[in-house]
Amino acid sequence: MKSVLLTAGQVVFTLALYVVGAMVLGLALFPAAMLFASTWDQTAAWPQWQHVLALCMAGAAGYFVFGFSLIAVVSILRIALGLQLKEGTYAMFSWGAIRWMLTNALQLIVWTFFGQFILLTPFAALLYRLMGAKLGTNVQINSSYCADLSLLEIGDGAVIGGHATVIAHAFERKGLVLKRVKIGKQVVVGLNAVILPGVEIGDRAIIAAGAVVPKFTKIEPGTIYVSREHEVHRPEVKSA
């Protein structure tokens, strides 16, 4: 019975997220739709091929207008709703966990619809900042797999490589654990690396491509971190 109620709760929450998503997307589409409608009006009397070409241009330009509107709408909503994550351990159906889901859902909408156009541009760093991350100067971001941005700090000149995962959360038996991730100055997080909650990386360190940095690991400045190869065997892990 308890699991049925939990599933029903998840379905209701998911549907509520879809409603929020539809409203966010609708608002972000509005300026692009206005651009398209106004182009339609202004070119209606043109020869047909010119009219169609103008509409194609307006539609394509509208996509970029939509993308930047989406960043604006999501950022305003995050700030208006006070969606600033706080370190701690939260039960699955607590306000802390719901706030976490909502925050990451908003960010996911941007990455899904516009992310590929802003990676490795200053707009990726801008989005990170607007979503609450503390970023130094000249940070290069080539990954859309970073979550929990209001619990992320990245120092000057750091590079986040392609498809690197940087997350400040872990779902564990005790619930949702949130712990700040700190990436120092001039750090390189390699392609496909995985950085887990509570990790602190010292200045100028390099995280090897594909390395997995376990939660709460502290990496000394200037070192190269490569994944540990040994397996962890603990009684509670074996019996899980």
Residues engaged in binding ligand COA (CB under 6 A): 159, 161-162, 188, 190-191, 206, 208-210, 224, 226
C-beta closer to ligand COA: residue 65 or 205:
205
Tell me how far, at minimum, the Cβ of 206 lies from ligand COA, in Å. Answer: 5
Q: How many CA atoms lie within 13 A of 60 on its CB side?
A: 5
Distance linking the first and last C-alpha atoms of the chain: 23
**Of 24, 13, 9, whose CA–CA distance to 101 is shortest?**
13
C-beta closer to ligand COA: residue 7 or 223:
223
Tell me how far, at minimum, the Cβ of 116 lies from ligand COA, in Å. Answer: 16
C-beta closer to ligand COA: residue 85 or 159:
159
C-beta closer to ligand COA: residue 96 or 214:
214
C-alpha–C-alpha distance, residues 67 and 29, integer Å:
9
Judging by DSSP bridges, how do beta strands 194-195 and 212-213 pair with one another? Answer: parallel
Tell me how far, at minimum, the Cβ of 226 lies from ligand COA, in Å. Answer: 4
Length of the chain measured in residues: 240
**Of 193, 186, 190, whose CA–CA distance to 167 is shortest?**
193
Tell me how far, at minimum, the Cβ of 83 lies from ligand COA, in Å. Answer: 30
Q: How many CA atoms lie within 13 A of 141 on its CB side?
A: 34
C-beta closer to ligand COA: residue 130 or 193:
193
Tell me how far, at minimum, the Cβ of 230 lies from ligand COA, in Å. Answer: 14
84 CA to centre of own chain:
14
C-beta closer to ligand COA: residue 69 or 143:
143
Name the closest residue to ligand COA (Cβ).
161
Q: Which residues of 93-114 are buried (b: 16+ CB within 10 A; e: fewer)?
A: eeeebebbebbbbbbbbbbebb
Tell me how far, at minimum, the Cβ of 197 lies from ligand COA, in Å. Answer: 21
Q: Which ranges in 115-220 belong to alpha helices (H)?
A: 122-130
C-alpha–C-alpha distance, residues 114 and 72, integer Å:
12
